[in-house]
Structure 1
Amino acid sequence: MCAAIKNPAKCKVRAVIRVFTAKQYSAAAIHRELCAVYGPNVMSEGVVHEWVRLFKSGRENIHDEERSGRPSLVTDELIQKIDGKVPENRRFTILELSDEFYYVLFCY
């Protein structure tokens, strides 16, 4: 038996699920195949069932959908400030740098 493929990309696993769904495999059979190739912790059987349902209902995209949520706090301005500070003292630690910009990031 071959060694399990470690840490596969989610989209690759979903592509395999999509192929097996097109071949009319059951979700349980797909899960067994995934576990045989990628290891037992690749994806739960419930998540496989959900993706099989989505593909059967017509979904073709294997990538995550865009989600709404909190916008990123990293801005071009913040990157420029950090880039300006680092040459001043190349021995900055991440902790010192985070203390410097804590207010900018979390106290808005």
Structure 2
Amino acid sequence: MHYRDAKGVILLDILPQGQCINAARYCSTLDRLKEAIRRKRPELLRRGVVLQHDNATPNSANLTQQWLQRYGWKILPHPAHSPDLAPSDFHLIGPLKRHLGGMAFETEDDLISELRNWFDNLDVDFFRVGINSLLSRWQKCIDLHGDYVEK
């Protein structure tokens, strides 16, 4: 999972092989995200965090909802499994696939290192374009009464 804003990646959280996301693990990730925001973008904590995540079970669990309420973080509504409104789906995956195409990794740590390096070297405009295109995609979704933006 990665967490970003228009300035870049705030936290890249890669699950160890074989682990699944549950509410407790997601809340632990949110704790790390909160600390990363405090270090990298403290103004966001003062202005208020708006988080976009889908309605997957760990995200909508009571434990997660309590965490979000405790810290006053807002959730941007998001239909479950909607590639139209997930910047990782419509903006990130294509360039990442092109970057990794043809590469082979000896270990999982080598892959993780390459991912971290790729994210660290992305230009800030890459993130700004992805976040800004989300606004027009939301408007299209609203105009289409919730139907898919791209068919």
TM-score, normalization by structure 1: 0.27
Larger relative strand fraction = 2
Q: Which structure has the higher relative contact order (CA within 8 Å, separation 6+)? A: 2
Structure showing greater Rg: 1
